[in-house]
Amino acid sequence: MQSYGDEPRPLAALSLPSRIIIGTAACAVAVAVAVHVAMMFLHVAPSNTLSKQQGALISDYVYPEYEQNWKLFAPNPLQQNTHVQVRAQLRTEDGAARTTGWTDLTARDGRAILHNPLPSHTQQNQLRRGWELFLNTHNAQNRPVGLRGELSERYIRRIVLLRMEDEWTRSGGRIERIQVRSQTTAVRPPPWSSEKISDKPVFRVLPWWQVTADDLPEGANNQ
């Protein structure tokens, strides 16, 4: 009877080509893991000579799939739900003006992400990051602060029109102006908490923006 000590090892029992393939695959995985760890380390580490020299390469690797967001670990984690909503003023073919109702773009993104195991980066971050950029580059009176403020306005207008232009003009008419607002609601505290928070939504309503040809999606005939 053959003893357990005499049993051949699984890897040794494989043919030479099979062992070469397994060894090559293991080395490739090890190299990929090492490169990923190195890229992420250089991305989050303090600025150094290597990260300065290879900054473009590191950014191309990290963004957007591996972007780091440390707000969960901040002293004051996010405790609010913010929805970005939009409406438009249309000019119909007979010359009459019509204002659409508010459309909640954030809610649409949320429905697209719900139960989706692989949601797109656009659905998760495009609108949210665009709105954060707008808030960070505008004062309390919604006036842009510097060039980045003006760019953020153009970026928001492009997002809105890319998503809504077809829907708004489907029944005929031309988009003349758009308006954006945010609806912010505090996250309810857990049942065991004694904290009292108002659940009344707070709105930040931006002024009407005139739509120009540069704001419209490429190829749009809404002139």
Specify the range with the lowest mean pLDDT, choosing from 2-6, 47-51, 154-158, 161-165: 2-6
- Determine the residue type at 198: S
Burial class (CB in 10 A: 0-12, 13-18, 19+), 172: exposed
Most confidently predicted of 33-37, 53-57, 216-220:
33-37
pLDDT at residue 12 is higher than 80: no
Are 78 and 184 a contacting pair, CB within 8 Å?
Answer: no
pLDDT at residue 90 is higher than 80: yes
Name the percent of the chain in helix, strand, coil, to the closest 5.
Answer: 45, 15, 35
One DSSP character per residue, 83-142 reads EEEEEEEEE-TTS-EEEPPPEEHHHHHHHHHTT-SS--HIIIIIHHHHHHHHHHTB-TTS
Q: Shortest CA distance to 199 belongs to which of 53, 32, 81, 29?
A: 81
**Mean of pLDDT values over 60-83:** 72
> Between the CA of residue 89 and those of 20, 119, 158, 170, 214, what are the distances in Å?
67, 32, 16, 14, 18
CB atoms under 10 Å from CB of 220, counted, come to: 15
- Tokens 């190299």 correspond to 31
DSSP 144: B
Phi first, then psi, for residue 176 (nearest 5°) are -100, -45
The three-class DSSP label of residue 179 is strand
Specify the range with the lowest mean pLDDT, choosing from 30-44, 45-59, 80-94: 45-59
**Mean of pLDDT values over 86-99:** 91
Q: What is the pLDDT of residue 7?
A: 56
Torsion of CA 36, 38, 43, 44, to 10 degrees: 110
Residue 90, both tokens: 């249309």
Query: Over the stretch 120-170, which tens digit does the pLDDT of each residue have?
Result: 888 888 999 999 999 999 999 999 988 889 999 999 999 999 999 999 998
